[in-house]
Amino acid sequence: MVVQAINPIIRLHQHRNRVNHKLCAFAIELTNEQRHQSFGIGQGSVWKTLLHMMGAEYVWLETILGDANPTMPGDVPTGLVGNQRGENGIRTMDQLLECWTHLESRWNNYLEDLEHVDLNQLIPKISTSSHFGQRKATSMMDILLHVCTHAHYTAAQVINMLRQLGIVELPDPMLITMARDET
């Protein structure tokens, strides 16, 4: 069963990357005011939600690589992941794209070397959400799935914000679209 699980996990991460690219392509076309416009969903703006998405990907990769209590550079450790309120925080779309491209490369390298036996490995992390502050161990497979489901859920929030900004032609986040575009 585990041997067959790795391919769908890799596929979900490919999809996550594609959706990230689509969201960033739309966000870069927004005005700074639109990116920072306040909404009652997600992290409160397109900008903050994109930072949170990238921050979550960063924190989980660092966790997988052995840091049970990682903080994304630029984050204030006591804030929500991706807050970027600290020194040298990401302030522009260009910085966000540069950092996210580098992070995507690191993820791709990690996933390239992923072996089937790794999926059952238990990875410790100090929780910043459910079980806040507690050290919990989670299987690699569940972490890898969580990174994708969190990204998809959060991407839907960004798309909803884009809709509320009046964007008519929205990014298509569907995995089936990715599959059909590849054929």
Quote the pLDDT of residue 2: 41
| Residues above pLDDT 70, as percent of the chain | 98
- Residues whose CB falls within 8 Å of the CB of residue 82, separated by 6 or more in sequence, listed in order: 43, 48, 51, 52, 53, 54, 55, 56, 72, 75
pTM, whole model, 2 decimals?
A: 0.94
Quote the pLDDT of residue 130: 79
pLDDT digits (tens, 9 = 90+) for 33-89: 999 999 999 999 999 999 999 999 999 999 999 999 999 999 999 889 999 999 999
Strands 122-126 and 135-139: antiparallel
Q: Is residue 1 over pLDDT 70?
A: no
Q: Which of 154, 173, 163, 176 is nearest to 50 (CA)?
A: 154
pLDDT digits (tens, 9 = 90+) for 121-140: 999 999 887 788 788 999 99
Mean pLDDT of the chain: 94
